[in-house]
Chain A
Amino acid sequence: MNRTFTRRRMLQALCGLPLAMRLAHGRDAVPRRIVSMSWELTETLLLLGHVPVGLSLPDWYNSTIVEPRLPDGVVDTGLLYQPNFQVLLELAPDLLLLTPGHAPLLPALARLAPPLTLGAYIGAADPYPALLQDTRAMAAALAEQRRAEQLIDDSEHLFATTRQRLERPRRPRAVLVADLLDEHHVRLYGPGSLFDALLGKIGVDNAASRYDGLTGSAVLPLQRLAEVDDCALLLSPLAPRLSAALRDNRVWQALPVVRQGRVAQLPVIAPYGGLRSLQRFAHAVEHALLILADQETAGA
């Protein structure tokens, strides 16, 4: 574990300062009424055993993050980057979970409740360690350190066992993780994305690294998928209209991965979700690869 004083650590410490001071006063030792302004951070919050009282567009959380499920009754606080102050005031929170995108609002929000800015891992160059750091930082604020360590250990254990199971010889060894945006464009997750980090942890090659200069996620024309061979294509769920369009799309039909039948669908997984999303991702990749391998042996 890296214990040096980096700029990010300093900033995180500074962001947590108001909270730390409040904790030091001994009043309200653990925040109970938390308002979260990020779906990704809400996932981690729920994993640490706390349900927020308010969240921007709660329905969106359930449709984009999926697990752990957000209980009913969480109040909608408005747009992600423009929370409704009227609602915030009524909710009377004792902790606000913010992202770096809320920086312009920080002075105003800080007057309503102590803020805690996390989620810088979403843009980080090496997002996985940053995610762990954020998870620990949130746990520290909630006095849930033990739970966080348990969660991290469980996740690491899951990733390691998945890796072992995937180690036996199989084809294909590499995958592409992609969202289909429309019938001509696809978004790929390359090195620097959380998906890429996870693929590395479970011992699966990311075929997106074969595209020069692709870091994080990037949008490419569909036919550039023809440039990679010998890999599986893992797609996020398609709109019904799009899957109909693909059936008639001759470029799609001619892509090597499609002709070899190496296309599988993933469930909805947030590309920058918390550890639960990553566990589900590891599961889904393993599941997809096993099914594809079975199909190939059956075909052969």
Chain B
Amino acid sequence: MPDPSLPDGLRGRMALAAGLSLIAALLALLHIHSLLGASPWSSLLLATDPQDVGRMLVQETVLPRIAMALLCGAALGLAGVLVQQVLRNPLAEPMSLGIFPGAYLALVLYTLFMPEGVDAGRELVALLGGGLAILLVLMLAWPQHLSPMAVILSGMVVNLYCGAISLAIALVHFDLLLGLQIWGGGSLEQSGWASSRHLLLGLAGCGLLVWLVRRPLALLDSGESTARSLGVQVGRTRLLALLLAVLLTALVVAQVGVIGFLGLAAPTLARLLGARNLRQRLLWAPLLGAALLWTTDQLVLLATSSTLSPRVIPTGTVTSLLGVPLLVALLPRLKSLGASPWHSAWPERAGIGVPRVLALMALLLFSLWLSFMWSRSLGGWRVASLAQVQALWFWQLPQSVAAAAAGGLLALAGALLQRMTANPMASPDLLGVSAGGGLGVVALVFIAGTVSATALFLACLGGSLAALGVLLWFGRKAFTPARLLLVGIAVSAWFQAIVGALLSSGDPRAEQVLQLLMGSIYYIPASLAWLSAVVLLLALTLVPLLVRWLTALSLGEGSAASIGVPVRRARWLIVLLAGVLTAMATLLVGPLSFVGLLAPHAARLLGARKALPQLLVATLFGAVLMVLAEWLGRQLVFPQQMPAGLVATLLGGPYLILLMARQGKGAAR
């Protein structure tokens, strides 16, 4: 019988929290019962008895684990509410803002370089990493005035790149990989109460601080100027709230690793169930978060403790896998998505002159010369003799052709997308097409066992096309470029979660998958290299036909339609072309690289501001960058080698940040 004195929303929230907790409690009781065996339940109140293993397990692993799940859920729910309130963005949360991946990466580095480092330092390191990551995200989104879409886009970009760097580290340090992956996947496994007691203290402290600033925080709802006129220190309140969110995330990540997207789910559920004002959300999001994580964890426990699967599944991986579709489902809630046309702060130039293009071409030739002739060898640096070049020609030629083609393809796809969406953060690897290709490779290795080059190619192509199909299907009705990009990013994030789950499963095939994903340019057969070159040339001949549309679209949808551009059809064709180019490039350099993001910017910087020159110069620049990256990858850690795509990422990252920072300065002017 519903209690009429309760408002509707409250009843829903209580019902959900109670229902979830009930399921979790039942599962937990069953689990405890099976462990206790003959001992009475009342014995749980006594001190642990080393003779009674079942009781000890309940007291030292099962109960602390439940406490940990509840505390982590509450902490992440609270963090989610805080960042959503500050950024006025319903999709913000520790994972989508890059805080989690940043903190995780910082901790991985800490563990690798200071293996005997003090445990107490871990939280500080996580705090630093998470703080840096969110700072970077805000900086990247600043020129777009921190619009919700720009923040999430930048956050997910940071998320993906942190993940790529973590994977690259795993490539070299596979001895340390497994333990780190299990922890990074968010395993709630506990032994003893120390961790949960620690987290409880941290959560209580943060909760107290949040309680102190609840009024100014709530006033942010009424708009910045109103809040200011009511005497709220807007800047300071926001900073404190963000800091608290990062702190909460750091506490969680230091204890149990990454638990993705829970901070999104809990506040969203609270909101859907009618928690309209901040006070309600501050109360209910942590409660729902705790209930959600507890239930998830009990289900994971049920799945893994059954005799069917003697494998570890980290709970955090499961929340990530469930959370990404939630993110996509919530996309329609983001209003004000219209990305404003992008104005670069770089000084205007008359246009790109012939000398610059020639210089770029000379650079391409020079880097090709480097690839073939100048390299480290067993006896140190040397210029290859003709015989040596001939002997390796069969191997080096496809590698260089593939590198140049991959760079060109990615750059062209990136330039097309950036022009079309008028969004400087658009990039082909963010379309999710590359991730689809990667999934194809993963599936092949795990289903077929051993792999041949042709099978790899087909699997990757199939995966890429499937991802492209999903993307097109998603965008068939409400098609806005920014939304499509977010769907693509979500697919990529989902892919990373799957790869993470594989790596933490301890399966011996995981290492091989990792090698294939990261070093794919290394494995391509010569025929594929030539095919990609042909595709690139074909695309370059097609592109001039699209120039009128691209020029019009970069002025905005309205202006484009008013001069007679069929906006919908134009966008479709451009996305399709970019998708095919990306699928081709993924086969060559693997799922992630900065080239598609970077090359169009570089082309503008060189003065190619009109559509066609920008496309062509970007392609040339992408080719140069990738050929250089391929060569550097072979020399940097000789005789080991780094994947070309990764070298390009490491080269391009700092440049991109610099570019965005300068752009931010320009926008503030």
Contacts and interface: CB of A to CB of B under 8 A. Distances in A.
Interface string B416-457: 000000000000000000000000000000000111110010
A223 B61 contact: yes
A95 to B, nearest CB: 18
Contact of A184 (B187, B391, B519): B187
A77 interface: yes
Interface in A70-104: 75-82, 84-87, 89-90, 100-101, 103-104
B36 to A, nearest CB: 13
Interface residues of A, number: 59
B225 interface: no
Contact of B312 (A90, A214, A219, A253): A219
Interface residues of B, number: 57
B87 to A, nearest CB: 35
B634 A84 contact: yes
B402 to A, nearest CB: 13
B451 A103 contact: yes
Given A78-B641, A185-B179, A218-B310, A223 B57 contact: yes
A77 B377 CA distance: 11
Contact of A214 (B57, B187, B310, B508): B310
Contacts, number: 152
Nearest to B391: A89
Interface string B493-515: 00000000000011010001001
Interface string A219-230: 111111010000
Contacts of A90: 377-378
A183 interface: yes
A241 B638 CA distance: 32
A86 B377 CA distance: 7
Interface stretch (B189-197, B209-217, B566-574, B651-659): B189-197
A182 interface: yes
A251 B310 contact: no
Contacts of A291: none
Given A81-B515, A221-B189, A223-B191, A86 B634 contact: yes
Nearest to B453: A104
Contact of B450 (A100, A218, A256, A259): A100
Contacts of A226: 53-54, 57
Contacts of B311: 218-219
Interface stretch (A105-113, A154-162, A199-207, A281-289): A105-113
B241 to A, nearest CB: 33
Contact of A87 (B60, B178, B639): B639
* Residue of A86, A182, A219 contacting most chain B CB atoms (<10 Å): A86
* Residue of B48, B519, B523 contacting most chain A CB atoms (<10 Å): B523
B640 interface: yes
Interface string B507-542: 010001001100100110100000000000000000
A242 B309 CA distance: 26
Interface in A232-261: 239-241, 248-256, 259
Nearest to A215: B310
B116 A181 contact: no
B312 A104 contact: no
B392 A89 contact: yes
Given A103-B450, A103-B451, A107-B453, A254 B60 contact: yes
B639 A221 contact: no
A212 interface: yes
A284 to B, nearest CB: 21
Given A84-B638, A103-B451, A219 B178 contact: yes
Contacts of B392: 85-86, 89
B60 A250 contact: yes
B509 to A, nearest CB: 8
A255 B396 CA distance: 56
A82 B191 contact: no
B395 A85 contact: yes
B515 A84 contact: no
B369 interface: no
Contacts of B307: 211-213
B56 interface: yes
Contacts of B388: 89
A33 interface: no
Given A218-B506, A219-B505, A254-B50, A185 B182 contact: yes
B375 interface: yes
B115 interface: yes
Contact of A213 (B48, B309, B506): B309
A250 B512 contact: no
Contacts of B515: 79-82
* Residue of B179, B377, B394, B396 contacting most chain A CB atoms (<10 Å): B179
B190 A184 contact: yes
B308 interface: yes
B53 A254 contact: yes
Contacts of B395: 85, 108, 111
Nearest to A92: B391
Contacts of A253: 50
Given A111-B394, A181-B182, A251 B505 contact: no
B235 to A, nearest CB: 42
Interface in B17-63: 48, 50, 53-54, 56-57, 60-61
Nearest to A185: B182
Interface of A: 57, 75-82, 84-87, 89-90, 100-101, 103-108, 111, 122-123, 181-185, 187, 211-214, 216-224, 226, 239-241, 248-256, 259
Given A84-B639, A218-B310, A241-B116, 9 more contacts: A86-B377, A101-B450, A182-B183, A211-B307, A211-B310, A218-B311, A222-B189, A241-B115, A251-B191
Question: Which 7 residue pairs spanning A and B have beta carbons closest together?
Answer: A219-B506, A212-B307, A184-B189, A251-B191, A78-B639, A182-B179, A84-B639
28 contacts: A57-B640, A81-B515, A82-B519, A82-B522, A84-B641, A86-B377, A86-B639, A89-B391, A101-B450, A103-B452, A104-B451, A104-B523, A107-B453, A111-B395, A123-B449, A181-B506, A184-B189, A213-B307, A213-B308, A213-B309, A219-B182, A223-B57, A224-B305, A239-B115, A241-B116, A249-B192, A251-B57, A251-B191
